[in-house]
Amino acid sequence: MLVWATAALAQSTTPPPAPAAQANAAPAAPIALSKRLACRAGAQSKSGQERQDQIQLCMAQARLDCLKQAIDQKVVGPQRQEFVKSCVGVP
């Protein structure tokens, strides 16, 4: 599971930057398997504090990846916060 989740995160690519006007108006596209679920699935084999640490590190990396994507697409303001939340898979 850990290998699968890691591979899923590694395969997420940053699409080419969109024009600023389009990126600000368009919501993030839904993802089949959220990064949040991938982090939880990747930490299933661990338990206790080690599991919590693994999920926390994975989520931090997922947020960073989504923030980089938002910056590349020139998403700003409140739309950036919503973009990152939806990208990571936070309800």
Which two structure tokens, joined as six digits, stand for 55? 């999920």
As a whole number of angstroms, the distance between CA 37 and CA 20 comes to 30
The pLDDT assigned to 28 comes to 53
Question: CA 71 to CA 84: how far, in whole Å?
Answer: 10
- pTM for this entry: 0.60
pLDDT higher than threshold 80 for residue 20: no
**Residue of 91, 32, 30, 37 lying closest to 62 (CA atoms):** 37
Q: pLDDT tens-digit profile of 47-66?
A: 999 999 999 999 999 999 99
Distance from the Cα of residue 13 to its chain's centroid: 11
Phi/psi zone of residue 55: left (φ > 0), alpha (ψ -120 to 50 degrees), beta? alpha
pLDDT tens, residue by residue, 77-89: 999 999 999 998 8
